[in-house]
Amino acid sequence: MSCRPSNISLFINTFFFYFKDRKSKAGRGLSWLKFRRDRSEKVDLPLGASRDVSSWGVQEVGAWLEMLQLGEYAEIFAGHDIRGREVMTLTRRDLKDLGITKVGHVKRLLHAAKDLAIYNNG
């Protein structure tokens, strides 16, 4: 098999297309991070709650759940002594262990917890 100019140009075009595509995906990832960072400034906190989420007690967490319209879980969170620091690290498994199985509620809690963590660290 000989390396004719058409084969070389095909290889070069394929090579650059591959890396150009990877670079564009990385760029989208970075813009998403910037978006999340900007969004962290707009997190709604319960009335009277400290801006330092890691210092929240069970009352502030309960108020946060009420704000998310998930107040039905306030007693569960309080019963398991889940405070602000724990809220910011909640996982899907944690919510399942707490008995929270409704998909919409799980997603809402995970998104809100992630936003709190970004807000607290940002």
The answer to whether residues 19 and 59 belong to one domain is no
What's the domain count of the chain? 2
The answer to whether residues 10 and 52 belong to one domain is no
pLDDT digits (tens, 9 = 90+) for 40-95: 456 777 777 778 899 999 999 999 999 999 999 999 999 999 999 999 999 999 99
Lowest model confidence (mean pLDDT) among 24-38, 40-54, 91-105: 24-38
Alpha helices for the chain (secondary structure H)? 5-39, 58-67, 74-79, 84-87, 92-97, 103-121
pTM check: above 0.75? no
Distance separating alpha carbons of residues 73 and 30, to the nearest angstrom = 35
The answer to whether residues 87 and 110 belong to one domain is yes
Q: Which residue range is the domain that position 12 belongs to?
A: 5-39
The answer to whether residues 55 and 33 belong to one domain is no
